[in-house]
Structure 1
Amino acid sequence: MIRTLERLIFVGLLAAVFLAPWMFGAVEPWAIHALTAVLLVLLLLWGVKAVLERALRIHPTAIHGVLLGALLVAAIQIARAPSPTSEVRSAASVVVDASGTGSALVASARGSQDPPGTRRAMWRLALLIGYFGLARELLRGTRRLAGAFVVLMLLGVLLSLVGLIQKFSGTGRLLWIREVDAAEIAFGPFVNRNHAAGFLELLFPLPVALILAQGVSRERWGLCGVLAFVLGTAIALTGSRGGVLVLGAELLALPLLWRAMNAGSGRDVRSGAILTATVGAGIVLGVLWIGAEPIASRWRTIEGVSAALSDPLNRPMIWRATWDMIRDHFWWGVGLGAYPVAYTRYDRSAGLSRVEHAHNDYLHLVAELGVWGIALLLGFVIAVWRAIRRALHRTEHRLAARWERALALGVTVALIGMGIHSAFESNLQVTANALLLLFLIALLENLGARGADRRLIEERRI
């Protein structure tokens, strides 16, 4: 009974990760409600399992602490939020800066500038914490890790194929059922091609790493190569310039990191560079065969750099306005989830368009959480770095151990890719992308824990 419950919870977890992107990225309230309902059912089953076992097993990590810390800061921001009457007074006391740009400096900067938005963001964050906690407890054992890998690859291939078919069929609807204002920038179920590229970037390094690190037998190299070809071609054809840059960075990072992992071992790692170059060449040929116009048209827009820099909706202008926001709300930020409302005070586009995100996850975090966001970001990076070191520090040569080490290599490069893309896009503001990222981090944590357990057993035997 206990094993059956645990398997049901694991299947439910995989189902949530699989379905989230098909809910148009799970950014709308109905999608959050659906994922919340699934999480509550899974937690209920987990509670029943704990009662039957007469034990509640929880393995907290530093990542848990960082996420809960962000939730605590958001709660304080709501508690410090000004009352409606004080909001009216602060709105009347707008100050124009000396540059004459009209950026507003809010007198009251103690709490959330949008308490309802902060509550919604806290709900979303609590949802992600719940799924991360379940993933940390359930992603144990080679068979479960293999099952998770298969589901992720199936998800990536389906998203890639649907996105490519939708893109070249000329439909103006997401998944052929939902109309959008700018269908040309959509890809698959994602309204924004950058978010689609960000999601696929988290999956692309996994099959390449299995070939590079010999995590699978040679008979399966062809299958992994096909998976990498489909995912890489889809990323390139999303039309996301950041996606193409990150794709190249991941192809470069894979052999370099593999070489660093095997420094001093006497292994010949030249074949890794050849394999990675072969995958890259295959992606280029695939793009040329299907049609490179979407990529060429995107890169041609860079020719008008001078005009683009003066556009108030361009990234540099948004970053400048966000920096002004950080300067004015350095200690406590504008409030988790309050960025869209707070940005209206710094908008230089005269209200022509609503800016939802900073197009930079790091600036977005600091703008919303202030100096606490910087501390939480540093804690997150340190925690992930420690998990990476534990997961990659494996010395066993059995096929199962090589597979786990290769998987850890792929996840590490995926996290590096997302870290790069987050510098010029707000991928992690999309629930599906954030959920997949935390799922991979939980997988990495468990790979590191398995390696540490094995080393401890060996030390005890000695």
Structure 2
Amino acid sequence: MISVEPAADSKDQNGRAVFSVLVGLLAATFLFGGASRGDVQSLALLRPMSAIILVVALFLALRQAWKRQWQPVALGLGVVLLTVVHLVPLAPSLWQGLPGRETIVDVFTATGQPLPWLPVSVAPLTTWNAFFALMGPMAALLLALALPDRYLPTLLKILLAIGLVSALVGLFQSIGPSNGPFYFYRITNNGTAVGLFSNRNHQAIFLATLFPMLAAFAAMSEGRPNRVRAQRVLAVAVGAFLVPLLLVTGSRAGLLLGVVGLFSCLWVYRAPSSEKKAVVPVKDRRRMAMVMAMVGGVGLLGLLTVLAARAPAFQRLVEMDTNEDLRLRALPTIWDATWSYFPVGSGIGSFVEAYNIVEPQALLSPNYLNHAHNDVLEVAMVGGLPAMILMLLFALMAALASWRLVRAKLRAKRSVFDQRDRAIIIGRAGLVAMMILAIASIADYPLRTPSLAVAMMVFVAFVVSGWRAASSPPPAT
């Protein structure tokens, strides 16, 4: 008789190893990768760590991730390949004929220098930075896709814990001095609740993704009735705590996406249909009353925080600062630049330099435009037609996943959720979080932040798990 225990034990050990490495990557990225700038000092620690973890992920997770769902892996490899192609040196006879390179040719001609070999990118150094920035998200994608489904609920709780830490840091920032010790980045939105990030919009967007995660956390509660009720009340309490902290970030986009996240809970959360409505003992009712009092206290604390900070998000709903005016005025120029560099693009990561080439005199100011604040348009500008195709493929996969998860039905009669039901619930939460980040990218650049890019890869893995589970019908019993 052949024993299969060693093989099963080996798989379990590999699952634990993948989970441990992924958690380490999440912790390191949220600790050191809360800013989108390429000159942040903490990247000197994060980039080598991401490189090491990527090598580990290639050995531990690549085969399993590809076998489980090859499409997201292929899409990620396509992004990496496009970045590499933009770094390959070309002969002068090739690159000078590319669209948008006329100014570069004129500079060399005016200075009497021969045309050198140059890559597609008009700013190779920033393209190299973009290439290195892809290491963390690629490692997270491989590890998360290779992770067995039984680890996903724990991974969801870890993301919630990270979000709660960021929210608490934001609370200390909102009640402390504007240049206090809880601001971790030199260039940041001082005086607002940015949490573990340098940008208030990114903190608000991340908090918005936590609402569907909390709904999934509450739906998957199991055990004794007291424990189930406590977990659901905890989810409500954390949600109540996050709402005012979302307001004091001062982010209008985050405020609107927070509303999306809250309403999505109605779709994500599902209670067991056969749950018994037994009479709650007096002792348990007293405990529940105490818990609800704590929830009310948390809500009151949040309200006081909003009043103390004067809810800058509401103030900014009717105000427009100089930087926002510049972004809106620059959009037509960026649109024209997209087609002037089409179809090859200006080079991944080269927005600042490529925009400076075409920037009109009327838009010159002491401030520079670090991003288009419309990542869809910026990706099209720097990546050209290949990047547009990759975005369309991602949108198509997201649409197919949405269709399947919307139509998925949970088991009809259940006292607790089985593995298939859990995967569908987590997939729905991941889909909403992924869509929040995608919608935010229309008016911002959240995925340029390493921590949110890594979180996005985890959300993709959640969706894949739900996609696979929804492909099979629920059990008859």
What interval of TM-score do these two structures reach, taking the shorter chain for normalisation? 0.7 to 0.9
- Residue matched to 2:393: 379
- In the other structure, the counterpart of 2:124 is 115
Give the match for residue 360 of structure 1.
374
Summarize the alignment of residues 429-448 of structure 1 with structure 2, pairs less than 5 Å apart: 429-448=448-467
Match of 1:314 among 326, 347, 365: 326
TM-score (normalised: structure 1) = 0.77
Deviation at 1:449, TM superposition (A): 2.2
How big is the shift at 1:403? 3.5
Partner of 2:232: 221
> Which of 205, 209, 214 is equivalent to 1:202?
209
Any conservation in 1 of the 2:373–2:443 contact (CA below 8 Å)?
A: yes
Residue segments in structure 1 that go unaligned for 5+ positions in a row: 95-108, 266-280
1:159 aligns with 2:174: no
Q: Deviations over 1:89-124 (max 9, x none)?
A: 734749xxxxxxxxxxxxxx9921111211221222
Of the three residues 418, 424, 436, the one matched with 2:437 is 418
SS at match of 2:24: helix
Is residue 250–residue 413 contact of structure 1 (8 Å, CA) maintained in 2? yes
Query: Is contact 1:174-1:189 (8 Å) kept?
Result: no
Q: Distance in 1 between matches of 2:263 and 2:91?
A: 49
- Alpha-carbon separation, structure 2, partners of 1:406 and 1:20: 26
Q: Which residue of 1 aligns with 2:262?
A: 251
Check whether the contact 1:205–1:228 (CA below 8 A) recurs between aligned residues. no
Number of the residue aligned with 2:283: none
**Tell me, what secondary structure is at the counterpart of 2:134?**
helix
Which of 34, 46, 59 is the matching residue for 1:25? 34
Amino acid of the structure 2 residue aligned with 1:320 = P
1:161 to partner: Cα distance: 0.5
Report what 2:138 is aligned to. 129
Alignment partner for residue 400 of structure 1, among 382, 403, 418? 418
Q: Distance in 2 between matches of 1:200 and 1:92?
A: 47
1:145 paired residue number: 152
Secondary structure in structure 2 of the residue aligned to 1:291: helix
| 2:242 matched residue in structure 1 | 231
* Matching residue of 2:276: none
Structure 1 residue 362: Cα displacement: 0.9
- Cα RMSD for the two superposed structures: 3.8
Amino acid at match of 1:248: V
Q: Who is 2:83 aligned against?
A: 74
Q: Which amino acid aligns with 1:331?
A: P
Shift of 1:341: 1.1
Letter in 1 for 2:445: S
User: What is the deviation of 1:415?
Assistant: 2.1
Greater mean alpha carbon deviation, residues 396-405 or residues 68-77? 396-405
Counterpart of 1:14 in structure 2 is 23
- Deviation, 1:344, is 1.2
Which of 73, 90, 96 is 2:103 aligned to? 90
CA 1:445–1:295 in structure 2 vs 1: closer, same or farther (change >3 Å)?
farther
- 1:191 is matched with 198
Paired residue for 2:286?
none
Q: Is the 8 A contact 1:20 1:432 kept in 2?
A: yes
One-letter amino acid matched to 2:395 = V
Give the AA of the match of 2:196. Answer: P
Report the alpha carbon displacement of residue 411 of structure 1 after superposing the two structures with TM.
Answer: 1.8
Aligned residue in 2 for 1:325? 337
Q: Distance in 2 between matches of 1:339 and 1:4?
A: 44
How far is 1:240 from its partner? 0.6
1:135 CA displacement: 1.0
Q: Does the aligned pair in 1 maintain the 2:33–2:43 contact within 8 Å?
A: no
Contact map agreement 1:81 1:110 (CA 8 A) in 2: yes
Is structure 2 residue 338 aligned with structure 1 residue 349? Answer: no
State the Cα distance separating 1:247 from its structure 2 match: 0.8
Amino acid at match of 1:141: D
CA distance in structure 1 between the partners assigned to 2:325 and 2:92 by the alignment: 31
Distance 1:38 1:24, change over 3 A: closer
What TM-score results when the alignment is normalised by the length of structure 2?
Answer: 0.75
Deviations 1:16-38 (A, max 9, x none): 11331221515446544544444
Contact 1:163 1:187 in 2 (8 A): yes
After superposing the two structures, state which structure 1 stretch, 113-122 or 285-294, moved more: 285-294
- Tell me if the contact between 1:334 and 1:367 (Cα under 8 Å) persists in the aligned partners: yes
Q: Secondary structure at the match of 1:358?
A: coil
**Aligned-residue offset at 1:222:** 0.3
Equivalent residue letter for 1:291: V
**Matched position secondary structure for 1:202:** helix
- Once the two structures are TM-superposed, the CA of residue 125 in structure 1 deviates from its matched residue by 2.0
CA contact (8 A) 1:13 1:135 kept: yes
Identity of aligned residues (%): 21
Letter of the 2:437 partner, please give it: M
What SS class does the counterpart of residue 231 from structure 1 fall into? helix
Change over 3 Å in CA distance of 1:56–1:21 after alignment to 2: closer
Give the 3 Å change call, closer, same or farther, for CA 13–302 of structure 1 in structure 2.
closer
Matches of 1:137 and 1:304, distance apart in 2 = 46
- The one-letter amino acid paired with 2:261 is E
Distance in 2 separating the partners of 1:63 and 1:57: 9
Aligned to 2:176: 169
Q: Secondary structure at the match of 1:190?
A: coil
Larger-Rg structure = 2
1:340 CA drift (Å): 1.2
* Distance in structure 2 (CA, Å) of the matches to 1:34 and 1:245: 34
Equivalent residue letter for 2:378: H
Q: Give the 3-state SS of the residue equivalent to 1:425 in structure 2.
A: coil
My pick for the range that moved more, 76-85 or 230-239, is 76-85
Contact 1:233-1:287 at 8 Å conserved across structures = yes
Q: Which amino acid aligns with 1:339?
A: F
Q: Distance in 2 between matches of 1:69 and 1:174?
A: 41
1:288 alignment partner, one of 280, 303, 313: 303
User: Secondary structure at 2:175's aligned position in 1?
Assistant: helix
